[in-house]
Amino acid sequence: MIGSRPWAIMKSQFESNLIVKKLEGKGQENNWQVAAPLIFKSFFLKRTIEIPAGFVTDFASVPRLPFAYWLTGNIAQEAATIHDFLYQNHSTSKAKADMVFLEAMKATKVVAWRRWLMYTMVSLFGWTSYGSGPDRFRVLNSQ
């Protein structure tokens, strides 16, 4: 029976490491380009997400306020890259993309209070980014 339900035994996990290069130039100050495919198996979506080399991400968009950045900045780059990809290509709903962000943070062992804080923030305030995602994808990934 398990053979007919491969997702029943699947564990959420990254199957490759995040390899990026910093982009240079005007307007690229916070952007990074994926240098090799990033692969994540999502139990929640019951599928594998593959981010191609060349995809541009800004990781987690955390306000540069000292306390906010201290709590959540420079954390969960792999999960943030997956989240950016899902927001930009709209291959799933915003709510599902946010859940995959939470799932990916757990897979990379981000501590529970921090991942829930980050998840809550994108759930509450990520609507503008999700809405503009396809336009951002066209601009960022056509260079």
Residue owning tokens 């260079």: 143
Residue 110 has pLDDT above 80, yes or no: yes
Query: Could you tell me which residue, 68 or 39, shows the higher pLDDT?
Result: 39
Contacts with 104 (C-beta within 8 Å, 6 or more apart), sequence order? 12, 14, 40, 42, 76, 78, 79, 82, 83
pLDDT digits (tens, 9 = 90+) for 85-101: 999 999 999 999 999 99
Instruction: Please check whether residue 26 is in contact with residue 120, taking contact to mean a CB–CB distance below 8 angstroms.
Output: no
Nearest C-alpha neighbor of 85 from the set 13, 137, 37, 28: 137
Q: Dihedral of CA 33/141/74/49: which sign?
A: negative
Please tell me the predicted confidence (pLDDT) of residue 73: 53
pLDDT, mean of residues 18-44: 88
Confidence of residue 51 (pLDDT cuts 50, 70, 90): very high
Beta strands in the chain (DSSP E): 13-14, 20-22, 32-34, 38-42, 47-51, 56-57
Instruction: Please give the mean pLDDT across all residues of the chain.
Output: 83
pTM of the model: 0.83
